[in-house]
Amino acid sequence: MVPAMNPAFVILVIVDEPKGSSYYAASVVSPVFANIARRIAEYLEIEKDDVTQAIFKRK
């Protein structure tokens, strides 16, 4: 969900049978997700979350 603290949209990226030497999500799906999320957030003018503040507030 993006942004993490107050979601405006959800992105699901599925890669069926990735090709090449890398098949882990971090190397296959993460770049696709990041590109889509960045472009949608820019289009909707959504600001980034300060995730570090959110983590420390939960204590």
For 29-59, write each residue's pLDDT tens digit. 989 999 998 899 889 888 777 666 555 665 5
- Measured distance CA(48)–CA(14) in Å, rounded: 24
User: 48: which DSSP letter?
Assistant: P
Query: Would you say residue 1 has pLDDT above 80?
Result: no
pLDDT for position 19: 83
- Measured distance CA(38)–CA(33) in Å, rounded: 8
The pTM assigned to this predicted structure is 0.68
